[in-house]
Each structure stands twice: as C-alpha cells, then as structure tokens.
Structure 1
Amino acid sequence: MPSRPPNPRTPLSTSAALLAGALLVTACSPGDPTDDTGGDAALQGSTASPTESPATPPENTGPLTIAFGGDVMFEGILEPRLNDPSTALGPIASRLSAADLAMVNLETAVTEGGTPAPNKQYVFRAPATALDALDAAGVDVASVANNHGMDYGTDGLADTLANGEASPVALVGAGDDADEAYAPHVAEVNGQSVALFGATDVLDDHLIEAWTAGEGKPGLASVKGEARGRMLTAVSEAAAEHDNVVVFLHWGLEGSHCPIGHAPTLAQELVDAGATAVVGGHAHVLSPGGFVGDSYVHYGLGNFVFYNFDGPTAESGVLTLTLDDGRVTESDWAPAQIQGGVPVPYEDAAADQAHQTWAGMRDQCGLPLTDSPA
C-alpha cells in the first residue's frame, strides 16, 4: 500500500516496496540508496543471483511498547509553551519517552496560513514548533485525522503535511490523496514491524465530502460511510504484511464517557480485520479501555495537551501497551491531571483512586472489556 516517505525518527522505517521485492526490512529510506545504514545492502539483496540465499528478516528479539496520549493542541494558554518546545509538554514527557514508540492525536492544523473552514465555531492551528514540542517529548507518530485536521482548508493541510515531512514526528491519517491518507506509518522495533494508522469518525456534516481524501483529492482518512470499508481493507492488508497493527481513531460524543452506539461494532470490525490495538479520543473526557481477546480497545484517552480543562475534562493519562507478534500482552494506564494545559501524573493514593475511577467506567458503560488478554 502506498505510504508517505518513511520518517527518520522511527527506530527503523520499513518500505512495502522493499518488502515485496526483497523480503527485507531495512533501516534506510528507499529514496536514499547510498545511506550507509543499509541502503546499499538493500539494493544488493534485491538483485542477488539465483544461487545466493535471500536475506532473512530480522529476528523477533522481544515485545515492544507503545505509549498513547489523547488530544493535543496549542491554542490559548498553550501557545506560550511553544517558546521553548523542549519543555512544552512538561513532566508527562518522561512517560512518553520511556516507551519504544509514542503516539498522540494532534487536533490542529500545523500551519500559519490557510483559510478558516466555513461555518465552524472552533478552528485550531499551530506553527511547526508544535511538532518540535512533540518530538522533544518523545512522540514518534501523530494522527491528524480529526475534526480539526483541515481547519485551515487544503492550503493548511498542505502546510501540515509539508511540516510533517520536515519533522521527526510522522503524521498519519491525511495525505495528498486517498492512498496517502489511508496508508500507515511503519516502524520496526525489536525485529517486529508495526503499522500505525489514523482515521476519523467525527466530521461536521457540511465538511465530510470536502475533508475526506479521495482519488487525486487531498484530505483525511475517515471511517464514515463508504470510507469505513476502505479503512478496514487497509487494516487487513497491513495485518497481512506486518507483525502488529494500531488504529488511532477520532470517535465518541463530546462530554460522554461511554462510547457512541456504533463504536463497539466498529472496534470489533477493526480487530477482526487484524488490528492489534484500537485507541482514540474526541470526547474531551476519559472513556473505558480493556482487552478484546488478544487485542486492546480504548474508547477515549481524553484531553492531553489542551486549553479547555476543568473537572472531568482535566482527567488525562498515558496508556502504554506491550505488543508481541500481533497480540497485546500487557496494558498500563497511568492517570494524570491537566494543570496549566499539560498532564501532570498522579502519585501514590491519588493515582490509585484515579485509576479505580477510570476502570469503573467499563461497568458503567456495560462494555465487555477485560483487564487481561484472553
């Protein structure tokens, strides 16, 4: 499946073209055959003589961990934090950096231009230093597939994608056309490949057509209407090619802890298609999470770096999942409270209480999620 050029931050970026041509996972970009980290070897491997043994894929040396945070933007009180991107996310950065990979929802266009979307109450944008802030905090991948990803139109999206190309942080869920928008970012950790998607289930009705990526049309990856089938196909194809698949969804109902009615069915369809983990946000409050068989589903990570917080909207946290060959073997929810726009981890008894409150949401919402894999 086509994808945007591999991002240099990832531990090892893979290329579907090289995999198909050489059954080889390399550490270099396919656009740089002279890269001394493996480009020449990759080309040699693809032209080996019939008598030579093909190179073997990297050995699985153990599981990998991915840390997830919720909705991120830099309006209001967050804007001055970008004066020093190295500290913009505050103390939560250490928990993100502790994982092999970290992923968030970037709920803003990354542009200083563009035209505000029509008939939209809230429009968000941030300069390219927003990506510097994520990079400094240990974030490797950000989904821009959400109801603010094109707040500044196609010009703003073009800037967002260009800024993403120039950043160590890989952006998913948007592209110059549907092939790019529905393509995952692929990374390799400990000899295992992981494909990370972004997609949105939330779009203003009058913007659905304009914002959804199409053939030769820039936009976002969506799971609304017919786009749902395309997303399921993309996940299925990625699962056939890669060891692990993650889908970061923008879904839910603002202010509601429980998932919207069709969300459990959508989650199950994604798991059946091959998703190892399905996580997401949008509601600005926390929602339940837990195991579905050997996969993991989290219905809402809440606000993460956000100007709007008070009471339930200030409850946040970091979800860290351990993945191993297509299964989630462990999960850890580390609760935090947003202070000054950024999440500050709870400690001791307060952390225990916050965790119990979050875990209790499963029963409140009547969801068949469990604490451990089947």
Structure 2
Amino acid sequence: MPTRPRLPRTPLRGGAALLATALLVSACSPEDTDSPTETDGGTEEAAALQGATASPSTPPEDTEPFTIAFGGDVMFEGLLESRLTDPSTAMGPIADQLSAADLAMVNLETAVTEGGTPAPNKQYVFRAPSTALEALDAAGVDVASMANNHGMDYGEDGLADTLAAGDASPVALVGAGNDADEAYTPHIAEAGGQTVALFGATDVLDDHLMEAWTAGEGKPGLASVKGEARERMLTAVTEAAAEVDNVVVFLHWGLEGSHCPIGHAPTLADDLIAAGATAVVGGHAHVLSPGGFVGDSYVHYGLGNFVFYNFDGPTAESGVLTLTFDDGRVTESDWAPARIEGGVPVPYEGAAADQARTTWEEMRGTCALPLTGSPA
C-alpha cells in the first residue's frame, strides 16, 4: 500500500500554556541542526516563535492548503482480533485513502491493554493489545481519539496501559490523560507550513461512570463536553485557536442507531466553532449522519463504524471524510463512501459510489440541518 512521509508530531502534555513552545519545536525540521543565526527580527528561533503565535489571519506566504482524512469508530474485538496477527494489513484497503491525506484521524473505541479490570455494570467492554496502534500506524493514521464510552473499559489501570502504549507509538492519542491538563491538551501537527491542533472529547458516557471516567485535577480520565466539562473544552479550543492556524475537535456524540444528531449537538457544534474550531467531526451512533459546511467551518455529525465487528445494513455503511484546511478555513470536502466487509471498510466504486454519496448527502435535508455542500 502507498505510504506518505510522516509529519512532525508535537504531543502537548501539561496544558495549553505549552502551545507556543511546542509550535516552535514542530516548526524546526528534524534535519535542522544548525546554530541560530541573526535575522532582522532577532534569532531564527525568535522569528519562528513570532510566526507560531501570530494571528491565523496573517499566515506566512510559503504556506499551502493541506488535507486531513477522518474515519469513524475503530476496535478489534470479535473477528477483527485475528487481523492483528499482521498489523501491516489489519485495516484493509481503506489504508490507501487514509495514507493519501497529509494527516489522518480516527476514533479508537477500545482500551489498549491486556490487563485492567472490566468496568462495572457495563454490557460491552472492549480492549486490544498494543498491536492495534501498529495497525493504525501502518494504515497511515496519525492521531486517534480515546475520548469515548469505551476508552476506560478496563479502568484506570487499563487507561495507564493505553497512555503508555500511546507514548511508545507513532500514533498520537488525544482526549485522555493522567489528569485534566493532559486530557484536554491537543496534539499539534504541522502540514503545508501550517499548524493544526487536534482535540478529542466525548459527549457520551454512562451515567454511573461519568464521574469516574472524566479527567480531573490529579485524576486520570477522559476529556468530556458534558456538564461543567463543556466550558473547559471551549476554553481549551479558544486557547489553541489563538496559537495555531487550524483547530479540529473530534467528538464522540449522537444517539445509537439514529442518523440525525441528538438535539443539543448543533448548538454544541456552533459553540465550538465560535470558540475557534475549524472543523468538528465525530461519531458514536454506529450509522452515518450528515455532514457539511457551516460558513467556512465544517461539521460532521457521525462518521459511522469504520473497523468494527458489528456490521449489517446501515451499520455497515462507512467512508472516509477528507477535508482541505487553509488558514483557519475548510476550503474543500470529500466524502468517499465505503461498506464494511469482514470488519473493515471497502471503498465503493463507480455507480455504487455515486449512489452511496447521494444517499449520504440527502441526509442533510432529512435531518433539516443548516449544512451546505460548499463553504460560504
């Protein structure tokens, strides 16, 4: 399968106050070991920092648009467990579409552990060995959100294993941490000479697990937008938007089995965009939901299953959303529909692809959402 050069990664641990420092590091290429030289504005480091903290409305002239490919829910239970015997092919043919973008992001709906204790009073608990991250990496995935209703299926011990596996992997994990600062800190990447912050957060948690699973001061857990946590997420997005060129929020949201978003979702999306998000995407419903432009930002209410053991009828409909970013705007979108076969998405082709895309686009009207097919 085709591969692309891996982009510089700057995981931020410790809060948005570290953004400027992280951006300075990511702005320097791995080969750049020369000593700083003087410029009209001071050292090269100072110039880089000034560029990193400048308003997104005044990007450097040498930037260019870049793409991010998004997939939905990924896990490796059931028939998918055996695919991890060879992580290099575990994701199947969809890897070509993920690898074609500058960056790729999915929702990893499983604890990455072989230990821990199953969460109490929970019907479905998912876990996978660290080879799951090898599979994501081999398929071209750069970032995975752990902020979902399965991220802590094996408790704090399972979360600790997950975070350790993430630290050892090229795939950056977001939306979870050893405390709230870590959980609400985005991963920062650079592409096309621009910076992008990628967050993960969940709007779905079992009531009896919400307090235990939500990250707090000195308390491991997940980033959430439920209750008081919503304001923390909005603040984190605002702070990131002041430091980087583009902001993505990957949300676990929606109602299982429903194509249309849950009632408060459009307001939540609007609030995140107002806070500075360039794109808000996500899933949870296990079926596809509408997506489209809100001004020059983009919202997708449900990417559906992606690599999943449960696929039949609507739950087998999947796809890859590829967005083109440029200076805090989404300028283009592409929905490449796929159908899950044997647990992995296989792209539609020809007339079947056209029909699947049309069916998905018609969901905007069905759900009566103010989304458009092109930016304002």
Same fold (TM over 0.5): yes
Tell me if structure 2 keeps the 8 A contact 1:24–1:55. Answer: no
Counterpart among 10, 13, 36 of residue 10 in structure 2: 13
- Secondary structure in 1 matching 2:306: strand
**How many angstroms apart in 2 are the aligned matches of 1:36 and 1:332?**
32
Tell me if structure 2 keeps the 8 A contact 1:110–1:160. Answer: yes
- Secondary structure in 2 matching 1:258: coil
Matches within 5 A, 1:1-374: 10-13=7-10, 20=20, 24-26=24-26, 37-38=31-32, 41=35, 44=36, 54-56=46-48, 57=51, 60-374=62-376
**How many angstroms apart in 1 are the aligned matches of 2:264 and 2:23?**
39
Tell me if structure 1 keeps the 8 A contact 2:68–2:101. Answer: yes
- How well do the aligned residues superpose, as a CA RMSD in angstroms? 2.3
Residue in 1 that maps onto 2:54: none
**How many angstroms apart in 1 are the aligned matches of 2:343 and 2:186?**
29
Distance 1:285 1:19, change over 3 A: closer
Tell me if structure 2 keeps the 8 A contact 1:316–1:337. Answer: yes
Tell me if structure 1 keeps the 8 A contact 2:10–2:23. Answer: no
Deviation at 1:39, TM superposition (A): 6.4
Deviation at 1:23, TM superposition (A): 8.0
Deviation at 1:12, TM superposition (A): 4.9
Distance 1:359 1:163, change over 3 A: same
Tell me if structure 2 keeps the 8 A contact 1:117–1:153. Answer: yes
**How many angstroms apart in 1 are the aligned matches of 2:30 and 2:314?**
50
Tell me if structure 2 keeps the 8 A contact 1:251–1:282. Answer: yes
Distance 1:134 1:340, change over 3 A: same
- Secondary structure in 1 matching 2:261: coil
TM-score norm. by structure 2 comes to 0.90
5+ residue gaps in structure 1?
Answer: 1-7, 29-34
Deviation at 1:18, TM superposition (A): 7.5
Deviation at 1:341, TM superposition (A): 0.1
Distance 1:9 1:109, change over 3 A: farther
TM-score norm. by structure 1 comes to 0.91
Look up the equivalent residue of 1:195 and give its one-letter code.
A
**How many angstroms apart in 1 are the aligned matches of 2:18 and 2:78?**
44
- Secondary structure in 2 matching 1:13: strand
**How many angstroms apart in 2 are the aligned matches of 1:270 and 1:335?**
27
Tell me if structure 1 keeps the 8 A contact 2:41–2:47. Answer: no
How many matched pairs? 358
Q: Which digits, 9 at most, give the CA deviation of each residue in 1:87-131, with x for residues without a partner?
A: 001100000000000000000000000000000000000000000
Q: Higher mean Cα deviation, 247-256 or 47-56?
A: 47-56
Look up the equivalent residue of 1:328 and give its one-letter code.
V
Percent identity, aligned pairs only? 82
Deviation at 1:27, TM superposition (A): 5.2
Q: Which digits, 9 at most, give the CA deviation of each residue in 1:263-299, with x for residues without a partner?
A: 0000000000000000000000000000000000000
Deviation at 1:37, TM superposition (A): 3.2
Distance 1:189 1:214, change over 3 A: same
5+ residue gaps in structure 2?
Answer: 52-59
Q: Which runs of 4+ in 1 moved over 6 A?
A: 14-19, 47-51
